Amino acid sequence: MASGSAPATLPQEIIRAKRDGKALSTGEIVSFVEGLTSGKVSEGQVAALGMAVFFNGMNRDEAVALTLAMRDSGDVLDWSDLPGPVTDKHSTGGVGDNVSLMLAPIVAACGAYVPMISGRGLGHTGGTLDKMDSIPGYVSQPDNSLFRKTVLGAGCAIIGQTANLAPADKRLYAIRDVTATVESIPLITASILSKKLAAGLQSLVLDVKVGNGAFMARSRDAAALATSLVEVANRAGLTTTALITSMNEPLASAAGNAVEVANAVDFLTGRRRDRRLEEVVLALAAEMLQQAGLVSSNQDGIRRTGEVLGNGKAAEVFGRMVALLGGPKDLIERREKYLPKAEVELPVKAGQDGFVTAIETRDIGLAVVTLGGGRSKPDDNVDHAVGITRLLPIGAEVRAGEALALVHARNRSQAEQAASAIRSAYSIGTLKPEAQKAVIRRLGKDSYCSSKSLPFST
């Protein structure tokens, strides 16, 4: 826990102050987080403070104090023994967003170390950890010894949050999830950054999604979240920038778990690279390399990224990471042998000629969940084999009867249900829409808005 904490303050008085719109002191925040971690603060009191913050927001000083107190509620990793910069990326979540699987090995192949602590699927969005769990034998939640061995040996490790990393966030998030207080920018900010700070990073790049497949559907909400994350992280001592990227269509042509791993392997080996996915991966990689001090410009970062993809080093790093964490040693060469497959494949046929003009991306994610590839309840098991591939992007031309996508399901009934949802999610028109950029905007340390309270709808 943090040293020099102020004497404990009654939690009900802290709740009262925030209920009445007052700013909390660092001592009050530290006291509440200590009670949250130890269990001395009740679930009802946590929920009450969460709701007060939801409606009244927090200023930047409060958000920084909350983030640091939650960081210090458990272990803080130390990578000072590594012979290179330590960096990471965080995405706010999307559909067909398997960026981490390529990004970590690409950046590691360029000389950085990437201890990537990832999460499971949430709602309609996929989870990096669920994708990695589709690899047979892969230990997605190793002990610290194996985690460190993998980071040192491969340059990166994609794993899940350990029990001792920001435990205050685990309890707070679980209560927010069932009390309708998830969508609070200060609480989202503290939740994301407390874990990243506890991971011992030297720099961080954020991928903040916006669109009909993102948690932030409106541009102003995505910008407010990105600004909050960048400013709070930098004030907490973590060099951070953010890219706002579009989630108005699936990022990859695959959505699911094993199917997204296969897509990532194909990307790394050059067998297939989806255009929008490549745009986002290269932009984030260049940004991470710049923040880590390994390149002097975005252009140089793009060049280095292209080199390690072209010469196979990024693919080698991914294969080494998988092997060190218990997976097959030849996954890169023989992914078809190891990744689980669903029994039924069903094409989703277009009902008319034309161009794909829009996609209800959230509905694509929900179709994966309905197939069993996500969770309706936190304790649900995930079927790693099911999913959707060959998703046509916006702007693609299609004829009536041709496939919009390919469903992978356990039985015909589930496949037909998913196919119906996917068909309804696609809009087809006579005019080809203009291509939209996948990377919309960059926010750096000089991009802050003025310090103020930030509720969700800012």
- Any idea what the CATH number is for the domain that residue 52 is in? 1.20.970.10
pLDDT digits (tens, 9 = 90+) for 180-224: 887 899 999 999 999 999 999 999 999 999 999 888 889 999 999
Same domain? 316 vs 365: no
Instruction: Mark whether 201 and 244 lie in a shared domain.
Output: yes
Considering the domain architecture, whether residues 371 and 325 belong to the same structural domain is answered as: no
Looking at residues 346-367, what average pLDDT do you find?
96
Residue 440 lies in a domain: no
Residue 436 domain flag: no
| CATH value at residue 401 | 3.90.1170.30
Report d(CA 66, CA 386) in Å as an integer: 39
| Final residue belonging to a domain, choices 309, 334, 359 | 334
Statement to judge: residues 34 and 102 lie in one domain: no
**63, 229 contact by CB (below 8 A):** no
In angstroms, the CA 257 to CA 252 distance is 12
351 part of a folded domain: yes
- Predicted confidence band of residue 449 (pLDDT cuts 50, 70, 90): very low
Write the burial class of residue 365 (CB in 10 Å: 0-12 exposed, 13-18 middle, 19+ buried): buried
- Give how many domains the chain has, as a whole number: 3
In a domain, 354, yes or no: yes
| Catalytic residue positions, numbered | 88-91, 128, 176, 191, 195-196
Q: Is residue 203 part of a domain?
A: yes
Q: 427-441 pLDDT, tens per residue?
A: 999 999 998 899 999
| Residues 384, 390 contacting (CB under 8 angstroms) | no
Q: Kindly provide the residue ranges of all beta strands, DSSP E only, lying in 27-139, ordered along the sequence.
A: 87-91, 114-118
Asked if residue 66 belongs to a domain, the reply is no
Is residue 185 located within the same domain as residue 112?
yes
User: What is the CATH number for 207?
Assistant: 3.40.1030.10
The residue out of 311, 334, 357 marking a domain boundary is 334
Q: Are residues 326 and 364 in the same domain?
A: no
Q: Measured between alpha carbons, how far is 289 from 106 in angstroms, rounded to an integer?
A: 10
Sheet strands (E) in 124-262: 156-160, 203-210, 239-246, 255-256
Among residues 96, 131, 291, 125, the alpha carbon closest in space to that of 205 is found at 291
* Contact call for residues 439 and 167 (beta carbons, < 8 A): no
Residue 450 lies in a domain: no
- Per-residue confidence (pLDDT) for residue 310, from 0 to 100: 96
pTM of the predicted model, to two decimals?
0.89
110 and 216 within one domain: yes
Hey, how many other C-beta atoms are within 10 angstroms of the C-beta on 422?
24
pLDDT reading at 2 higher than 60: no
Shared domain for 255 and 353, answered yes or no, is no
Note down the domain range covering 29: 11-57
Same domain, 315 and 396: no
Alpha helices in 236-360 (DSSP H): 258-269, 275-291, 298-310, 313-324, 335-338
Asked if residue 344 lies in contact with residue 408, where contact means CB atoms within 8 angstroms, the answer is yes
Q: Are residues 163 and 24 in the same domain?
A: no
The answer to whether the beta carbons of residues 186 and 58 sit under 8 Å apart is yes
Residues 270 and 203 placed together within one structural domain of the fold: yes
Q: What pLDDT score does 165 carry?
A: 85
Task: Identify the three-state secondary structure at position 184.
Answer: coil
pLDDT per residue as tens digits for the range 282-328: 999 999 999 999 999 999 999 999 999 999 999 999 999 999 999 99
pLDDT over 50 at 453, yes or no:
no
- The residue among 284, 304, 334 that closes a domain is 334
Instruction: Tell me which of 389 and 129 has the higher pLDDT.
Output: 389
Q: Do residues 257 and 128 share a domain?
A: yes
What token pair was written down for 157? 């490790």
Whether the Cβ atoms of residue 181 and residue 47 lie closer than 8 Å to each other: yes
